[in-house]
Each structure stands twice: as C-alpha cells, then as structure tokens.
Amino acid sequence: MSRLTEAAGRIKRDALTVYFIARNPETPFYVRLLALAIASYAASPIDLIPDFIPVIGFLDDIILLPLGILLVVKLTPRAIIVESRAEAIRAAEKPVSTAAAVVVVAIWVLSAISLGYWLMNQS
C-alpha cells in the first residue's frame, strides 16, 4: 500500500511539473498545448472513464495520465524540465489555493443549475 501511495504522490508531483512546463514560454508551442491538456485533465474532477466502473474506471488514472506525462517529458527540453520540477517542488510546499477551489465549486454549481434547467425544459 505504501508503494501505491508513493506512486500517487509521484504522479501528483509530475502533473504539477507538467503544468509548469505548459506555463514556460520557452517550451515549444505544441508541447505547451499537450502539457496544458494533461495538466488540466490531471486536475479535473471529471475522468474520461468514471472511477465507479470496477477496474476499468482507474485505467485512465493508472495508465493514461502517466503516459501523457511521460510524453510531455520526452518532448520537453531538459533545462525546462529541471526548472519546472524545481518550481513544482516549491509550489507543493505552499498551502492550497482557495481561489482555485472556489472556481471548481462554481463550475460544478453552474453545471448543476444548467442541467436542472435543461431537464425542466425537456418535459
């Protein structure tokens, strides 16, 4: 179980590194787009395959996300990776962003209101 926890921590750190790779202006444009997509997917509460589906639900978290991170790292110049990893370590030590939590909650609330409005108009 500790190996699994350690691997999850590594993936979280690497996803943060990918986010900083996407923000670096020296990163090639196509890598920035891919890195932004991977970092957004890693931070998103919405999965490609829902986690409640037994076994298959965790495949995107266990296979797809690490493969995406690996691809971004392979396409990124070494100096940018080193700089982004250092920035990710510094950022991980900071407290969690309240503003980001508010944005995520606002998106969920707006989505729920929109869905309710759409469902009421379907009858």
pLDDT digits (tens, 9 = 90+) for 15-39: 899 999 999 999 999 999 999 999 8
Instruction: Kindly state the helix (H) or strand (E) to which residue 14 belongs, with its residue range.
Output: helix 2-23
Q: pTM surpassing 0.85?
A: no
pLDDT digits (tens, 9 = 90+) for 58-113: 676 778 888 999 999 999 999 999 999 999 988 877 767 788 878 888 999 999 99
Instruction: For the beta carbon of residue 39, count every other beta carbon within 10 angstroms.
Output: 23
Instruction: For the beta carbon of residue 58, count every other beta carbon within 10 angstroms.
Output: 13
**In angstroms, what CA-CA distances link 1 with 6, 8, 90, 91, 98?**
9, 11, 27, 26, 30
